[in-house]
Amino acid sequence: MAVVDSPAPSPAPPAATLEQFLASVSTRAFRFAELGLRHREDALDAVQDAMARMLGYRDRAPEEWTPLFWSVLRSRIIDLQRRRTFRLKWMSDARDPDGEEIDWADESTPDPSRTHDGREAWSRLATALRGLPARQREAFSLRVLEELDVEATARVMGCSEGSVKTHLFRAREALQKQLEEFR
């Protein structure tokens, strides 16, 4: 009787692996985007856009996905920040036909980011992170919260490894001072 070799089980298709990767970073990516944008809906849009763009990179090696995803998300956050700045400047100059300034703020809705952060520890950390300069906040988030290595963080931030170390050192010093009483 001849033994027929059965084919080896094929690895999971890249899309399933990419989906698992995206599912594993979704919560952290949302928090990262929310810290940068300070608005829940914009953060959700940024993460969704970054994830959609990652679909174009499904053929890349899985070890490339982490720095690539964070680079894409960071670029999307910067785009939204620039767009918001332009919109705010344009709207702040807006006047009605009588020459009165137009108030674009909708004060009837509660701030979604305040209702989202229920836990006190995360709330304090998020507040402290928001007070940091953008580059320090990015370095801390990517190195400490996302646990990327220095090299990957430098690629994501578009700077040298020495700059990453400097930004991280300064961020840690500032956070330690701000959160000292919380210990």
Q: Could you tell me if 21 and 46 are in contact, meaning their C-beta atoms sit under 8 angstroms apart?
A: no
The Cα–Cα gap between 124 and 101 comes to: 36
The Cα–Cα gap between 74 and 155 comes to: 11
Kindly report, residue by residue over 24-70, the tens digit of the pLDDT.
Answer: 999 999 998 988 888 888 899 999 999 999 998 888 999 899 999 99
Higher pLDDT, 78 or 101: 78
What is the per-residue pLDDT for 25? Answer: 92
> Is domain 118-183 in CATH 1.10.10.10, yes or no?
yes
The Cα–Cα gap between 21 and 116 comes to: 24
Domain chopping of the chain, boundaries: 13-96, 118-183
**Residue from 123, 148, 149, 139 nearest 171 by CA:** 139
Q: How confident is the model at residue 9 (pLDDT cuts 50, 70, 90)?
A: very low
**Residue from 143, 144, 130 nearest 174 by CA:** 130
Average pLDDT over residues 127-156: 88
